[in-house]
Structure 1
């Protein structure tokens, strides 16, 4: 058994139906974990469960529902790792044109959902005496970009929440970290990358390309297991060098 072996660990991945969440679930399962997956679309989850094999737990629902988060943790029993990957794309508008409902909807999923799941999982992990929570943020938590005010605000808040939870729970064995992806080849980023902004974004990445979803999986495995046993309260950027500018 190595520090990157997750055999015997139960992992819950939200936003697992597509894109980065799906890739993370695949990586964690490949490292030996028993994986529970959440999305609002049951069909996507059942397809993923077929890929991951027996033992995969399908938990369809919305992370913006606090009751769902509590019931999911209750159903799982033991929980060793939570990956908070559920999120919705930016409202791509100039800030003065963003409506109150558009603002609230992005924060409801990206921030409230992260909080509900982290709180529910954290309570269980504190009872168990340990665990790892991985919140998924974005390079735009710390770097400015046009027309994404609600999204950037939600991801900045996720990173602040991560730091607070890490400090509060460290002495009871629960580690909390953030993965901050740059631009990846997913359905979420596709429309923006295919617009006139695509060339601007690619020019800002020193590696000169978007990432492949599978390239995020190794970082999730690292933060989930014993390889990162002395890592908490930090943000790990997987961005092709975007934030190095």
Structure 2
């Protein structure tokens, strides 16, 4: 198994992507520590992992509370002996953020993503990096989406926030690499199974005066193979990058957009 004997923290593990990555990590042998703000959602994911023979711990953690993040990382390191993988999959509802022109956007629709995504990525990566450098190994994963690297309208503060996370990823990789720690960002296009995609595409469709299905067709048409990546594909890539088979990858933005963004 690719992650056997690894200990992984997944922030936002109660969400669709975080939960899928947590299950994929556990299936490959990792002991997973699920963190997020909604205990019931975390427990649902943990039960599925345990039912499949995996090992999962649960903790309610506000990733914007640096003391809480540090205390949780300390607890995991004490209990497990190491933190080998950290993955941040926190997200926000997009109503009030996407679907409005920047010139018409209330400041909160810009501020909220900018004060949530980069800060959460920084606090969780900092906590992991402090402990990983001490042990001389580890992998920190972040996730963003295609608008960070393209010019798309009606994104509110999301595209700048994702771009900031990618810049943070590169800076962390440069600083932590000499201490044995890799930092990698996964950049994905919208995943069709996620409830958030339905919300986002609905917002954009309404703004363009078309149906959500028509907007979905428009977006799949921007990919090379005329399909959006699945959550399972994102999770499988996260497993590979977090494993020792991905040791040559650091400071990279792994392109999972199906050609929507061309490197």
Where in structure 2 are there 5+ consecutive unaligned residues? none
Distance in 2 (CA, whole Å) between partners of 1:8 and 1:178 is: 23
Query: Which of 107, 113, 123 is residue 130 of structure 2 equivalent to?
Result: 123
Where in structure 1 are there 5+ consecutive unaligned residues? none
Matched, 1:203 2:221: yes
Distance in 1 (CA, whole Å) between partners of 2:190 and 2:66 is: 29
Residue 217 of structure 1: CA displacement?
A: 1.2
Moved more, 59-68 or 233-242: 59-68
* Conserved? CA contact 1:202–1:209, under 8 Å: yes
TM-score by length of 2: 0.87
Structure 2 counterpart SS, 1:137: strand
Distance in 2 (CA, whole Å) between partners of 1:144 and 1:68 is: 36
Query: Which of 79, 84, 87 is residue 88 of structure 2 equivalent to?
Result: 84
The higher-RCO structure (CA 8 Å, 6+ apart) is 1
TM-score by length of 1: 0.93
Query: Which of 17, 26, 31 is residue 29 of structure 1 equivalent to?
Result: 26
C-alpha change, 1:193 and 1:104, in structure 2 (3 Å) is closer
Residue 107 of structure 1: CA displacement?
A: 1.8
Structure 2 counterpart SS, 1:37: strand
Matched, 1:8 2:16: no
Structure 1 counterpart SS, 2:4: coil
* Conserved? CA contact 1:193–1:199, under 8 Å: no
Residues 7-26 of structure 1: per-residue CA shift (max 9 Å, x gap): 11100111111221111111
Computing the radius of gyration from Cα coordinates, the structure with the larger value is 2
Residues 204-223 of structure 1: per-residue CA shift (max 9 Å, x gap): 12222222211111110111
Distance in 2 (CA, whole Å) between partners of 1:21 and 1:140 is: 20
Residues 166-221 of structure 1: per-residue CA shift (max 9 Å, x gap): 11111110000100011102111112335333232122122222222111111101
Computed over aligned residues only, the root mean square deviation of the Cα atoms, in angstroms, reads 1.6
Query: Which of 40, 43, 51 is residue 40 of structure 2 equivalent to?
Result: 43
Matched, 1:97 2:115: no
Residue 89 of structure 1: CA displacement?
A: 4.6
